[in-house]
Amino acid sequence: MSTLPIHDPATGELITTLPADDAASVARKAQAARAAQPSWAARPPAERRRCIEGFRAGVVRDLEQLARVMTRETGKPIKMSRNELNGLLPRIDFFLAEAEKATAAETLFDEGGMREQIGHEPLGVVANISAWNYPWFVGCNVILPALLTGNAVLYKPPNTRR
């Protein structure tokens, strides 16, 4: 299997080397996500919400460490990494507050025993390739609503190379 070197773009230092995906490994991951998605979608919205609330708590708890990793991977100043993560917190709150309302069934007509509704169903698997300059903020703009609405997510973080 080939590897992917991860460099600090500010210094050129090799941070780590990771296994590189190829078409076959991406296909296996997509198949696993498709297999897992129906059971995730079957969970009540409140349970999916609790999972995202746990994620939010982890960001708060580990914010400094996450900011340091982001700075090494993107080359942005540590203050900007902290700001991105702090800015992510109200975004998470927004998605937590709005997901159930946004996906509630909409009644268009309800008269004489006839009702027309628009329902919202999960798409299945959502793929996301994040931007290098705001990996958490931009990535979570896709990941969080997708998970909250019952989808599985394949996420490819940005890669910095020198």
State the pLDDT at residue 159. 66
Number of domains in the chain: 1
Cβ neighbours for 41, distance < 8 A, ≥ 6 positions apart: 122, 150, 151
Closest CA to 1 of 20, 23, 14: 20
Q: Is the pLDDT confidence value at 161 over 60? A: no
Residue 15 lies in a domain: no
Domain extent at residue 151 = 43-103+116-155
Write out pLDDT tens, residues 42-91: 999 999 999 999 999 999 999 999 999 999 988 899 999 999 999 999 99
Within-domain flag for 18: no
Q: What is the mean pLDDT of residues 90-102?
A: 95
Percentage of the chain surpassing pLDDT 70? 97
Q: Is the pLDDT of residue 135 over 80?
A: yes
- What is the pTM (predicted TM-score) of this model? 0.88
- Amino acid 130: pLDDT: 86
The CATH number given to whatever domain includes residue 63 is 3.40.605.10
The more confident residue out of 10 and 39 is: 39
Tell whether 132 is covered by a domain. yes
Mean pLDDT, to the nearest integer, of 145-155?
Answer: 97
Q: What stretch of H or E contains 89?
A: helix 78-103
User: Considering the chain, what is the average pLDDT of its residues?
Assistant: 92
3-state DSSP percent of the chain in helix, strand and coil, to 5 = 55, 20, 25
CB 1 within 8 A of CB 19: yes
- Name the β-bridge partners of 49: none
In order, the DSSP letters of 5-44 are EEE-TTT--EEEEEEPP-HHHHHHHHHHHHHHHHHHHHS-
Residues 6+ apart with CB under 8 A from 49: 96, 99, 100, 148
Any domain includes 16? no
Cβ atoms of 49 and 96 within 8 Å: the answer is yes
Q: How confident is the model at residue 133 (pLDDT cuts 50, 70, 90)?
A: confident
